[in-house]
Structure formats: structure tokens, C-alpha cells
């Protein structure tokens, strides 16, 4: 574990993925409180891999341009010695997937207006990214490509934050996706991604639509026992009508969900802002403050004492000289795993795409993944 990345003293490892790790970083601020952030860095054994470094820096450049209340904020990026790093705001709370899992375990349905409000905020963030231009006014054509509940963060203060643009596509990126590679979690891919068609913002809208269906039914939409069956379900895009099994499911909400999940992307919402508009009309825009408070209250109920544990650890971190050099590893702050993923890591999805395109089974069963 590094002890310093740029201006940030590293005090603990708090998350990690296949190609990158996330650390708790602290920067000394003259005359003020220490600045505590999440610092993402490529793992040492991959630091010399040009492909990974290129992907990582592409992500950093995309993130550095994004400044929206519904997108996790990037503070800076750079190189410390031979390690590339990205410093991001540290968020206290849980992922939307954590909340969904906790509710499902307790057989607790989410309020439909709350689910709609959360997805509207994600749609707001997506629309901002989709429309973003560079300093010369050229459209960046950003597509997230990995919208799903594990990449949406709910803070204890009631904020909704989309994060992990590690698979995003944008104009000007140096890393190009290899032919036959499908990026994103299989259960949240759009049909056109599996068909190897050029992707645009509408694949993000489909993924958000799948998330919305799951939040309002407390069931998985396309997920099956194996990735192959999941991919077939996505390709067919048969969307069960929740009104058939959930008495009182609003017609208005079903209309929104059905349009977001249209198999033909020309029949889908064409802009995330239009989806956000309809979701806000359903939940009531005047409910913004109340819904934000409810997000925090819900997490307090589901994860008893977790808010205080996170706040307490941050207070402790701000008082420490550094636990790293004392040989101890303090308990981490819960944080979503922000990772760099390689083409090899997506091999199973590529095999699925090949199968769906030519009708031949993969040479070996793909590993089970969410």
C-alpha cells in the first residue's frame, strides 16, 4: 500500500477491484481542516501495463470534466512516482444495490415515489454527461455504459450520485474497445449492446429503466442463473407488466418504465432529461427535500449505527498522524468499489455476444457474474 499519492497521505485501503485500489487519503490544508478524500490508483502489478494506464487516464479525463450534483465529484488526478491516481470526494452512505439487497432480505418494498425520485436524479446526472461539450464547444458524446444499482450511491445526507465511469465511451479517448468486446454488467446491458451495434445514450436509458423496474418490483428483471441465459433474456427484452402481480401499481409509472425499456431504441426515451421529467411528474418535484431526507432515514433504518461508524472513523482519521506506518489497518469506510476493468475481464460477455450473433455456444461455460 502506498504511503503518499500526490498531496494525499494514505491512511487506509478502503476498496478495490481487479485492476485498481481505492484508499483513504488526507491532505494537509494550511490554516484549515484536513481534506479527506477517496484516492483511486492502479494496483502496482498493473502500473506498467500501457492498456490499463490508458484506460485509467481516459477515465480521469472524463471524470475531471463532470461537475454535477448527481455525479461523484473528481477533485484532481495525476502521477505520483510511477503511480497514476484520481482523487474523488469521499461519500458517506451506501450503494443503491446495498439498499435494494437489504430491503429484499427483509421483504420490504421501496416506496414507488422514492424509487422514481432516485432514478430521476440518476437521469439528471446522465443527461448532463450525455450533453457535455469540451472547452471548444465540441460534443464529447459520453456514454456511461455501466449504469446499474451498484454504481449509484446514496449518501446519508440524501444525495444521489452516479459514479464509476471506468467503462464510459467518449470522443477523444485513446483506448478503443476491441471488436467483440461487450462492456457492462450483463443483466443491465441493452439489446443493441449484445447485437454489437454502435452505442449511444439510449443504452444508458435502457439500463436505468431496468434499474427502475427492479426498484419498483423488488425483483430482478433479466438476471438468470447463468450469464448466457441472462443475455438471451436481455436480447428478447420481454418486460413483465408489474400491474399483473402488484395490485395498485400505477398505470402512469408503468408507462414510464415500459418506454425506458423499449427493445427498439427509437421507441425509447431519446434523452435522459425526458425520463427525469416524467419521473418527477410522477413523484412530485416539490418532494425533493422530503425525498432526500427519506433516503437518509431509510439507510439509518436498514443499516443501524452505520452512519455513526462512518462519521466516527472519519473523525479518527482527521486526528491520526498516520496508522499506516504503525503497522495497523483500521476498519475501512464503506465505499463502492471503483475499479479499472480490462478487456480480458469482459471475455465472458464477448463470448455471449458471439453466441447471440452466430448461434454457436461458447467454447466453455462463462463464469457466473452479476
Grid cell of 304 as nine digits: 443501524
146 has catalytic annotation: yes
Q: What is the C-alpha to C-alpha distance for residues 244 and 261, in angstroms, rounded to an integer?
A: 17
Q: What is the C-alpha to C-alpha distance for residues 283 and 281, in angstroms, rounded to an integer?
A: 6
Sheet of 152-155, strands arranged across = 93-95, 152-155, 160-162
Contact 324, 150 (CB under 8 A): no
Q: What is the C-alpha to C-alpha distance for residues 370 and 366, in angstroms, rounded to an integer?
A: 12
Sheet of 8-16, strands arranged across = 4-5, 8-16, 20-27, 35-42, 83-89, 74-80
* Sign of the Cα pseudo-torsion (302, 219, 96, 52, in order): positive
Helix (H, G, I), strand (E, B) or coil at 13: strand
Q: What is the C-alpha to C-alpha distance for residues 350 and 228, in angstroms, rounded to an integer?
A: 11
* Sign of the Cα pseudo-torsion (249, 255, 260, 265, in order): positive
Catalytic residue among 58, 98, 146, 164: 146
Q: Name residue, grid cell 439498499.
A: 99
Taking each continuous run of H as one helix and of E as one strand, the counts in the chain are 11, 9
Contact 126, 147 (CB under 8 A): yes
Q: Tell me phi and psi for residue 24, to 5 degrees.
A: -85, 120
Please list the active-site residues.
146
Amino acid at each position: 500500500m502506498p504511503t503518499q499519492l500526490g498531496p494525499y497521505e494514505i491512511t487506509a485501503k478502503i476498496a478495490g477491484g481487479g485492476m485498481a485500489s481505492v484508499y483513504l487519503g488526507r491532505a494537509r490544508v494550511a490554516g484549515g481542516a484536513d481534506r479527506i478524500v477517496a484516492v483511486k490508483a492502479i494496483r502496482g502489478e498493473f502500473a506498467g501495463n500501457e492498456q490499463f494506464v490508458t484506460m485509467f487516464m481516459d477515465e480521469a479525463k472524463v471524470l475531471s470534466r463532470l461537475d454535477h450534483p448527481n455525479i461523484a465529484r473528481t477533485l484532481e488526478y495525476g502521477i505520483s512516482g510511477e503511480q497514476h491516481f484520481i482523487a474523488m470526494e469521499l461519500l458517506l452512505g451506501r450503494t443503491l444495490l446495498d439498499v435494494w439487497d437489504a430491503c429484499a432480505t427483509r421483504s420490504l418494498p421501496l416506496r414507488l415515489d422514492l424509487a422514481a425520485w432516485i432514478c430521476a436524479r440518476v437521469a439528471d446526472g446522465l443527461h448532463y454527461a450525455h450533453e457535455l461539450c469540451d472547452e471548444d464547444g465540441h460534443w464529447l458524446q459520453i456514454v456511461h455504459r455501466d449504469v446499474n444499482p451498484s454504481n449509484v450511491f446514496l449518501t446519508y445526507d440524501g444525495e444521489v450520485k452516479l459514479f464509476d465511469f471506468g467503462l464510459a465511451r467518449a470522443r477523444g479517448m485513446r483506448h478503443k474497445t476491441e471488436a467483440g468486446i461487450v462492456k457492462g454488467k450483463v443483466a443491465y446491458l441493452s439489446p443493441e449492446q449484445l447485437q454489437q451495434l454502435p452505442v449511444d445514450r439510449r443504452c444508458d436509458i435502457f439500463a436505468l429503466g431496468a434499474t427502475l423496474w427492479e426498484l419498483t418490483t423488488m425483483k430482478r428483471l433479466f438476471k438468470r442463473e447463468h450469464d448466457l441465459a441472462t443475455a438471451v433474456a436481455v436480447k428478447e427484452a420481454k418486460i413483465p407488466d408489474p400491474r399483473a402481480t402488484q395490485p395498485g401499481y400505477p398505470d402512469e409509472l408503468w408507462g414510464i418504465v415500459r418506454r425506458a425499456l423499449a427493445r427498439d431504441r427509437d421507441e425509447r426515451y431519446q434523452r435522459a432529461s425526458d425520463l427525469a421529467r416524467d419521473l418527477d411528474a410522477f413523484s412530485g418535484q416539490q418532494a425533493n427535500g422530503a425525498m432526500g431526507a427519506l433516503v437518509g432515514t431509510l439507510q439509518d433504518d436498514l443499516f443501524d449505527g452505520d452512519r455513526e461508524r462512518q462519521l466516527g472513523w472519519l473523525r479518527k482519521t482527521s486526528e491520526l498522524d498516520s496508522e499506516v506506518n504503525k503497522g495497523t489497518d483500521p476498519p475501512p469506510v464503506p465505499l463502492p468499489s471503483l475499479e479499472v476493468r480490462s478487456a480480458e475481464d469482459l471475455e465472458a460477455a464477448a463470448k455471449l455476444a458471439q453466441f447471440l450473433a452466430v448461434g454457436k455456444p461458447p467454447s466453455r461455460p462463462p463464469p457466473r457474474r452479476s
